[in-house]
Structures are given as C-alpha cells and as structure tokens.
C-alpha cells in the first residue's frame, strides 16, 4: 500500500513533486478509506491532465524505481539508464522517495542516482511509530541499524557504485525487513500502460485454465458487468513454426529454408471461447470491449484479493465509461483488502464527487517555460463544495491541467470590415 511518493529530475518532472494517498480531513466517503495505524489511506486516486503534461512520466518514474530495486544487477561500468529532465544540470541526481506499507509495517525507501552511480540510498521502518534505520548510504559509505549490521555487512562484497543496495541485500542476505521492502516493489507494485509490455491476455488464459474457482469469479464479474457468459473455455494446441512460416513461401524458398534448424521449434496457440449457453464465440470474434475486459479482469481480481497496488495509465482505453465506473467501485468497496488503484484518464464522466473524494482527484500540469510537470490535488483548492460540477469546472480550466487553444482564425466578415 502506497502512503506517499516523491520524485524529482525524471523526464518531464524537474522540481520535486509530492503525491499522497493519505486522506485529508475531508469527511465525505470516509467509509472508503483504509485504516492503517493512525492513518486513513485512500483506496483509489484519479489523475487528470492534458496530453504531454507528465502523467506518463509520473507512472514511468515508478517503473524506473521498481526496476532499480528488483531488476537485473548492473555490471561494473554499466550506466544507470536514467532519463533526467532536459534542463537539469548534468550532475544533478534524480531522486525518488516512497513511503509504503507491507505486512502492516510502514517503510520509507529513498534513492538518488546519476548515470554513473547511486549518490544516496536509505531504508527505514516505523514499527514502533518512530523512524528506525535499516540502512543508510552516501555513495560508498554505509551505516546500518544495530540489529541489521552483521547480516548486511556481508553484502558489501557484492556491492557496486551503480547498484541499488536494496537489490543486492535482497539477493545476498536473509533479513525480513529487506525482503519485505524488496517484495513490495517486485510483487505488490503493478504498473500497467498501453505503452508498456504487459502480457495480461496470456496471464488471464493461464489463470482461468488452471484455477476453476478463479474462473467462476471471473464469470460472475462478467455477469455483473452485463455480459451474460455462462462459461469461459480454453484450448491450447501446438503448431510447427516451420509449417507456419513456410506455408506462404514459394517452392524455391521452401527448398532453401525447410532444413534449417530454426524451423524445428514449435509454438503453442491459446484459444479462448465464451460460452453463452446456446452458442460459443471465439474471443477473437468478440467486440474490442469484451476482449479488453477479458485481458484486465483476471489481473484485477488477483490484485484486489492479494492487496496489491495497481497503477493504470489511460484506464479508459477500450472500456466503456459505465464499466470503468463499476471497476473503480469494486476497488472502493473492497473493505477487507488493502488494494489500491491509481489511474490516469481523460474520461470526465469519472470526475465527480458522488464517487470520489476531493483528495482522490489529482491533476498534472506542464509549466511551459521550463517544460516541467507539477502534480496537485483537488483538495488543494479552497471552497470546493460537494455540489460543485467538478467535470464542468475542469473543462472550463478552473483547476488548470487542460490545454487552451486560442482561435487565431479571422472570419471573412471581420476581414471585410
């Protein structure tokens, strides 16, 4: 569960931005909130903003941070693949700080990097309500909390200046708090975007194929969304790559390539059929909306049941507004889960105070002179009433975060005058 996130000098993000899932003093929809120690935490947050305002940069910063923690360890001499803001000084580090909950423990992890090295890194916990050190690092100088010192010092022989120590420590030690923090980034933080490589269709096929009870949940959710499917059937079969590739070749080319070892491998083709009782339909012949729902429902159910965090860029892609509204309410109303949904969207039908709290609505805006992203919440504005037409006010530019195009076209009548 994310509590707070800070980032600076990453892509369009230049100055530090602060994004919080902690609830404000707003009493509206307080039944939606997650109780964690003395905090009240939001389950859902929507982020609006113009194209190019930095919404994707915001999501990509999470992806970069997670890859530092659980990705493949850099080798000596490897560059850290950071993309700083174009107007930042070359030596200015990119900074990331996240506070999160894992197994009912609050952690704070921060890291500052350049292409050459990790400049600073730390991990703290708050088990007793006070900040306690697990490790702290300034370049290659390390200090450790007293109870972690002997175990973590063993990892230093595997450490390099271009490696996140949390990554190294998770691989070469056995410390519960290190493992907790590492697994949050590896498993609990799920990032989905049309621009990222997410094989959710394949995941959904495998999950339904092997788990009958899970399939029943998916079918029930489809039914609740107005899709009257009775069963979802799966089929997998093997085809020869040689047959597939050679079938459209001329006889001359076939003679050249047919004996090549590259054509000896086989691939498996997975088919999904929606059974409506009287007939079945290959999912490839279903509407784009049904195909999209099949792709996302299995991961969504797993995320909710496992208490994970889903960051979903452009949530409206391929889904109707009414279905989106239902999916969001599933997160909101799941009382026994700590799952969270953070999404970006242009769909203003979701922008209303009947469903979302003021602190659940955020905006990104690009400052034109320095081309830098700012992010802020609707709760930062004073005198926002529950009866306000938030979507209308947003379109009118009262909260910023949308583009304005001045008309420079002069009418024929004005020219004649």
Could you tell me the domains of the chain?
2-195+313-395 (3.40.50.300), 200-296 (no CATH)
| pLDDT tens by residue, 91-132 | 899 999 999 999 999 999 999 999 999 999 999 999 988 999
Percent of the chain clearing pLDDT 90 (strictly above): 57
In this structure, the strands spanning 132-138 and 118-125 are antiparallel
pLDDT for the residue numbered 268: 64
Taking CB atoms within 8 Å and a gap of at least 24, the contacts of 408-416 are: none
Phi, psi of 370 (to 5 degrees): -105, 0
Confidence band for 139, pLDDT divided at 50, 70 and 90: very high
In this structure, the strands spanning 141-144 and 94-102 are unpaired
Confidence band for 270, pLDDT divided at 50, 70 and 90: confident
Confidence band for 271, pLDDT divided at 50, 70 and 90: confident
Nearest partner of 151 among 138, 136, 134, 127, judged by Cα = 134
Phi, psi of 217 (to 5 degrees): -65, -40
pLDDT for the residue numbered 288: 86
Q: First and final CA of the chain: distance in angstroms? A: 64
In the chain, the largest separation of any two C-alpha atoms, in whole Å, equals 86
Percent of the chain clearing pLDDT 70 (strictly above): 88
Confidence band for 411, pLDDT divided at 50, 70 and 90: very low
Backbone conformation region of residue 307, classed left if phi is above 0, alpha if psi is from -120 to 50, else beta: left
Burial of 291 (0-12, 13-18, 19+ CB in 10 A): middle
Nearest partner of 274 among 265, 266, 285, judged by Cα = 285
Q: What is the pTM of this model?
A: 0.86
* Low-confidence winner among 14-18, 99-103, 349-353 (lowest mean pLDDT): 349-353
Residue 262 has pLDDT above 60, yes or no: no
Instruction: Give the C-alpha separation, 132 to 289, whole Å.
Output: 48
pLDDT for the residue numbered 205: 87
Confidence band for 258, pLDDT divided at 50, 70 and 90: low
């Amino acid at each position: 569960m994310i509590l707070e996130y800070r980032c600076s000098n990453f892509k369009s993000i230049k100055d530090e931005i602060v994004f919080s899932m902690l609830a404000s003093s707003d009493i509206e929809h307080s039944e939606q909130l997650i109780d964690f120690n003395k905090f009240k935490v939001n389950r859902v947050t929507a982020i609006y903003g113009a194209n190019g305002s930095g919404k994707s940069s915001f999501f990509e910063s999470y992806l970069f941070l997670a890859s530092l923690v659980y990705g493949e360890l850099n080798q000596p001499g490897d560059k850290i693949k950071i993309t700083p803001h174009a107007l930042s000084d070359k030596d200015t580090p990119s900074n990331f700080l996240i506070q999160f909950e894992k197994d009912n423990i609050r952690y704070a992890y921060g890291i500052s990097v350049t292409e050459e090295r990790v400049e600073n890194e730390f991990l703290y916990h708050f088990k007793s309500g006070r900040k306690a050190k697990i490790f702290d690092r300034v370049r290659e100088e390390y200090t450790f909390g007293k109870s972690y010192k002997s175990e973590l010092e063993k990892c230093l022989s595997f450490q390099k200046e271009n490696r996140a120590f949390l990554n190294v420590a998770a691989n070469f030690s056995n410390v519960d708090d290190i493992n907790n923090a590492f697994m949050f980034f590896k498993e609990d933080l799920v990032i989905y975007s049309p621009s990222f490589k997410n094989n959710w269709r394949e995941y959904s096929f495998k999950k339904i194929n092997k788990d009958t009870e899970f399939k029943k949940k998916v079918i029930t959710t489809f039914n609740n969304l107005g899709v009257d499917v009775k069963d979802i059937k799966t089929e997998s079969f093997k085809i020869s790559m040689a047959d597939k590739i050679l079938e459209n070749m001329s006889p001359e080319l076939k003679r050249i390539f047919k004996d090549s070892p590259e054509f000896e491998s086989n691939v498996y083709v997975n088919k999904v059929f929606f059974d409506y009782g009287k007939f079945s339909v290959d999912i490839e012949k279903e509407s784009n909306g049904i195909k999209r729902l099949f792709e996302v429902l299995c991961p969504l159910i797993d995320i909710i049941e496992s208490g994970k965090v889903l960051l979903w860029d452009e949530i409206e892609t391929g889904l109707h507004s009414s279905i989106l509204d239902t999916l969001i309410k599933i997160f909101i109303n799941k009382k026994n889960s700590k799952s969270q949904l953070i999404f970006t969207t242009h769909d203003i039908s979701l922008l209303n105070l009947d469903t979302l709290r003021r602190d659940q609505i955020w905006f990104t805006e690009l400052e034109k002179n320095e081309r830098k992203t700012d992010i802020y919440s609707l709760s930062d504005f004073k005198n926002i009433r529950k009866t306000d037409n938030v979507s209308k006010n947003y379109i009118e530019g009262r909260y910023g975060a949308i583009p304005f195009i001045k008309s420079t076209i002069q009418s024929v009548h004005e020219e004649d005058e």
